[in-house]
Structure 1
């Protein structure tokens, strides 16, 4: 592919309308990606009844699904740094549609593990959203968006509790009529619609500039590459293996601690979100219907947590905010599993735990996107994001082992879920201190050229 001279080309201009449209589409895409992703855990008890699995078998299957999800998710970031953010986002929602439809046809555990691994594309929706929105919010000339970029992203990331809420609500309404297979089919159609909606979005100018420089270098056009790099304040660096680049000098410590924090925090996500119905039905002895109601109420509170942490992250260090929130979330989950008795107490401490543990992800994903440069932003965010699945694997193995050894599920939830959540908050303190909403030099250059 031949490129034109640097001086006769300009990247996309992101208007306020473009930014608003992308925000709305990202919000709904994340909702339905989460709906499909969480639906698997929500319906696991019902699927287990059909196939005759016990609790240990169910968690083992979920563990293998997490392995497959990790493999798919980690590859997506590398791909998105090559094909672009927009195409990467179309790929994630497309994967959600395929996974939903294929899950409805499940006939044995091996097949289920395979098709649910494809759901790793949907799981990566949040990482690609963070990458894309982080870049377009930085170059739009809308002052409100620039001042409140973390708050706006928190609404998008709030699609997680909304997706969980939608999953639980639709299951409660339609399960008696369509069964668990029909519940998965319902998620397919909105995902297909969102693929076409995403086709109308613009590629980020940051990616366009870096991709064009890369093509110039590949074609041996050093002068053109240098001219373009100087215009947009981009440093031309030697090509590295993408995953090696995010651990390069100056990035190693932050990437390491961010990865470890994300890894252990998913002990809590696995326990109280993915396996939440199992913990509530078998550990707190509530009915499946009441467990769905508890998840609905607690995730309504979690949505408020997203908005709260996103708003606060625009004003204070996101790193410190996340660390404090996760420690508080771990304490709340510990109280819920050990001391809470009765529906009111269980709902209260489950809600407080999700408010801090899940709610902090609105600040976390934006913080992650800010932690990597444009060349490796999708790779870095999806790599850290994918480690959540390794955390789910390890957490699942520990929970499965404890249950197989006869440990009560509430004790397993305390050790793995509450303990992992609190530990992740402490690990966040090893990450870099951030300045909220700082503007990068290349983004300033893009904004000036757009004017």
Structure 2
């Protein structure tokens, strides 16, 4: 990611659409970084503002987590649906659809209070539908992983250079902590001025830049080659399809839909293992990241003021940015699977220690919460790239989106469990111990069952 603004002066319309240069890959990396950053900005903003939104609409803690569970269910459906679509229309168009969807969701979220004022039931349904559309923003990371995995395969095909791919991708994926910091900072600055509505309006503005910059994105060579072979086969020109497949080094075995193929052959094991690990881990992500402000501010949690909780989120997410870089670098050396498993085990230990810390020990809570996010969020830079290289191009976006959506299923399960625990009279500390620390530990152990992939190898099929 070393491109300068001058790289974006003229769209690359004069070169062949079948050529991808190092400059194209660099520009794509920058655009994917900003697209993911602002998608996260909107996605995390809802969790950060949930206590304030709940107070504005008169919700109890249990009801707010119940609403978040319904929102998460809609997010999972939308995030999964975009995968097979992206395997059909291409990675470039998939990215632009995701960006536009996240922006629309932000703008519509700002009108929820007005709709809720007309009818509480209508407002609740409207909120769930709008935030489900925001699942397109969450799906951005799966599309980015599929797209950049293919683009990097051409720029870093040499084994010596291939070892850098994880670190470079971690810079793109670090949009999560950057977006999280921006979200927390915007709440701190904008909430006193215009309330939670203004925060969501501002969140939609960056999409204009991303959609404008998207004209410089080039489709990945792997997708174009696979589409060319599939088009020849569907048109009945089998001899030409075989010839092209031999030239491109693409297998021409029988293929059905991408959704069916992710549960067959060598794709089955990564689908089940990585998907299950992702699901379990997101139970913990919901507890400690998405609902972090609720845990930190609740009397039965760490009982910290809302302003101080935002400060903790800013500091801890800045720390998790370093976690992305570290785990991307480490994955290039000891393997991405091993990096993910070890980090999530350490994460569960850090959060367990934070829950045991005295409520009044503010510095200790900041340190342990930051360390927890370092080992929770940071490994996703290795996980998303590991997911992309675990599938062939025919099912890469579908497989990545399926696993990505399984995280939202985990969040749904976590939301149900946390809601039930709070409704039964237990504290936030107890709820996050059961449905945060333990699932994260289980996810770290389970991921070791995934097929190992040598980080020096490059998958071109």
Relative to the length of structure 2, the TM-score reads 0.92
Aligned ranges 1:195-234 → 2 under 5 Å:
195-234=211-250
Please report how far the alpha carbon of residue 249 of structure 1 lies from its aligned counterpart in structure 2 after TM superposition.
2.1
| Contact 1:35–1:187 (Cα < 8 Å) also in 2 | yes
1:169 aligns with 2:185: yes
| Contact 1:369–1:377 (Cα < 8 Å) also in 2 | yes
Tell me what 1:445 maps to: none
Aligned ranges 1:248-287 → 2 under 5 Å:
248-282=264-298, 283-287=301-305
Please report how far the alpha carbon of residue 90 of structure 1 lies from its aligned counterpart in structure 2 after TM superposition.
0.5
Please report how far the alpha carbon of residue 314 of structure 1 lies from its aligned counterpart in structure 2 after TM superposition.
1.1
Change over 3 Å in CA distance of 1:25–1:142 after alignment to 2 = farther
| Contact 2:75–2:134 (Cα < 8 Å) also in 1 | yes
2:67 to 61, 69, 76: 61
| Contact 1:306–1:359 (Cα < 8 Å) also in 2 | yes
Please report how far the alpha carbon of residue 419 of structure 1 lies from its aligned counterpart in structure 2 after TM superposition.
1.1
| Contact 2:153–2:460 (Cα < 8 Å) also in 1 | no
1:178 to 190, 194, 203: 194
C-alpha distance in structure 2 between counterparts of 1:254 and 1:146, whole Å = 21
Aligned ranges 1:28-47 → 2 under 5 Å:
28-47=34-53
1:413 aligns with 2:432: yes
Please report how far the alpha carbon of residue 251 of structure 1 lies from its aligned counterpart in structure 2 after TM superposition.
2.5
Change over 3 Å in CA distance of 1:349–1:340 after alignment to 2 = farther
What are the superposed Cα offsets for residues 348-399 of structure 1, whole Å, 9 maximum, x if unpaired? 1101111011000000000000000000000000100000110000000000
1:26 aligns with 2:32: yes
C-alpha distance in structure 2 between counterparts of 1:171 and 1:281, whole Å = 15
Tell me what 2:390 maps to: 371
Tell me what 1:78 maps to: 84
| Contact 1:302–1:355 (Cα < 8 Å) also in 2 | yes
Structure 1 segments (4+ residues) deviating >4 Å? 141-145
Please report how far the alpha carbon of residue 192 of structure 1 lies from its aligned counterpart in structure 2 after TM superposition.
2.1
C-alpha distance in structure 2 between counterparts of 1:199 and 1:340, whole Å = 52
Please report how far the alpha carbon of residue 142 of structure 1 lies from its aligned counterpart in structure 2 after TM superposition.
8.6
Bigger mean CA offset, 146-155 vs 333-342: 333-342
Tell me what 2:313 maps to: 295
Tell me what 1:7 maps to: none
| Contact 1:11–1:209 (Cα < 8 Å) also in 2 | no
Please report how far the alpha carbon of residue 146 of structure 1 lies from its aligned counterpart in structure 2 after TM superposition.
3.7
Could you say what secondary structure the match of 2:383 adopts? helix
C-alpha distance in structure 1 between counterparts of 2:48 and 2:348, whole Å = 22
Unaligned runs of 5+ in 2: 1-15, 116-122
Tell me what 1:235 maps to: 251
What are the superposed Cα offsets for residues 76-122 of structure 1, whole Å, 9 maximum, x if unpaired? 00000000000001111111111111101113211100000001100
C-alpha distance in structure 2 between counterparts of 1:426 and 1:279, whole Å = 25
1:308 aligns with 2:323: no
Could you say what secondary structure the match of 2:449 adopts? coil
Relative to the length of structure 1, the TM-score reads 0.94
2:373 to 333, 354, 359: 354
1:122 aligns with 2:120: no
Change over 3 Å in CA distance of 1:47–1:238 after alignment to 2 = same
Would you say how many aligned residue pairs link Structure 1 and Structure 2? 433
Change over 3 Å in CA distance of 1:349–1:130 after alignment to 2 = same
Please report how far the alpha carbon of residue 310 of structure 1 lies from its aligned counterpart in structure 2 after TM superposition.
0.3
C-alpha distance in structure 1 between counterparts of 2:168 and 2:263, whole Å = 29
1:113 aligns with 2:128: yes
| Contact 1:90–1:199 (Cα < 8 Å) also in 2 | no
C-alpha distance in structure 2 between counterparts of 1:18 and 1:124, whole Å = 23
C-alpha distance in structure 2 between counterparts of 1:238 and 1:79, whole Å = 20
Change over 3 Å in CA distance of 1:441–1:26 after alignment to 2 = closer
| Contact 2:184–2:313 (Cα < 8 Å) also in 1 | yes
Please report how far the alpha carbon of residue 338 of structure 1 lies from its aligned counterpart in structure 2 after TM superposition.
2.1
C-alpha distance in structure 1 between counterparts of 2:235 and 2:61, whole Å = 57
Tell me what 2:401 maps to: 382
2:154 to 121, 139, 160: 139
C-alpha distance in structure 2 between counterparts of 1:53 and 1:210, whole Å = 50
Unaligned runs of 5+ in 1: 1-9, 443-451
Tell me what 1:447 maps to: none
C-alpha distance in structure 2 between counterparts of 1:290 and 1:316, whole Å = 38
